[in-house]
Structure 1
Amino acid sequence: MNIIGIAACTSGIAHTYIAKEKLTKAGIALGHTIHIETQGTIGIEDELSNEQVKNADVVIIAADIKVSGKDRFKGKRIVEIPTDIAIKAPKQIINKIDNEINN
């Protein structure tokens, strides 16, 4: 599965980057391609390319705040979760999404 996403928390620091790290490690461990953009106090980092968006099977938005640029995901399957869920149960989230897409 080709996963893209956005991570963003209220302060734009700790939970943003922890959620990105946990989702990325879980996605890779489960055999998926994954790229997570962060939106924080210093702006957007690791911005998703048009090609990544085009090829995505699913978009995970792990955010506690409103994120920008959601319009680029039109027509894509989007899963929105709080950052704490991405941090606590990233493999379970990805497995659940994978099961829903493939069943």
Structure 2
Amino acid sequence: MKIVGITACSAGIAHTYIAKEKLEQAAKDCGDTIHIETQGTIGTEDALKLEDIKEADVVLLAVDVKVTGRERFKGKKIVQISTDTAIQSPNKLMKKLHSALNVK
């Protein structure tokens, strides 16, 4: 499964980056491809490319605040969760995504 997404916490510091790391590891463990953009206090990092978004099966938003650029995902399946969920249960989340999208 190809996943793109954004992480952004209310402070824009620690949870933004921890959530990204946890999601990337969980996706890797499932054999998925993932590209996560962060939107934090220092701005946007690892910005998603339009080609990545186009090829994605799902958009995963692990956010606690409003993020910029949501219009890029028009027509895509979007799953939005909190950064806490991404940090505390990333493997469970990936299993749910696989189940919801009928991916084995």
Q: How far off its partner does 1:35 sit?
A: 0.6
What TM-score do you get using the length of structure 2 for normalisation?
0.97
AA of the residue aligned to 1:98: H
Corresponding residue of 2:83? 83
Cα distance between partner residues in 1 of 2:92 and 2:77: 17
Alignment of 1:58-77 (within 5 A): 58-77=58-77
Runs of 4 or more, structure 1, over 6 Å off, are none
Cα distance between partner residues in 1 of 2:84 and 2:30: 20
Corresponding residue of 2:23? 23
Corresponding residue of 2:37? 37
What TM-score do you get using the length of structure 1 for normalisation?
0.98
Cα distance between partner residues in 1 of 2:56 and 2:94: 14
Cα distance between partner residues in 2 of 1:36 and 1:90: 14
- The count of residues paired between Structure 1 and Structure 2 equals 103
For structure 2, the residue ranges without an aligned partner over 5 or more in a row are: none
SS in 1 for 2:101: helix
Corresponding residue of 2:55? 55
AA of the residue aligned to 1:93: L
AA of the residue aligned to 1:26: A
Q: How far off its partner does 1:94 sit?
A: 1.1
SS in 1 for 2:78: strand
CA-to-partner distance for each residue in 1:78-101, whole Å, 9 max, x for gaps? Answer: 000000000000111111011111
Q: Could you say what the CA RMSD is over the residues aligned between the two structures, in angstroms?
A: 0.8
Cα distance between partner residues in 1 of 2:98 and 2:76: 14
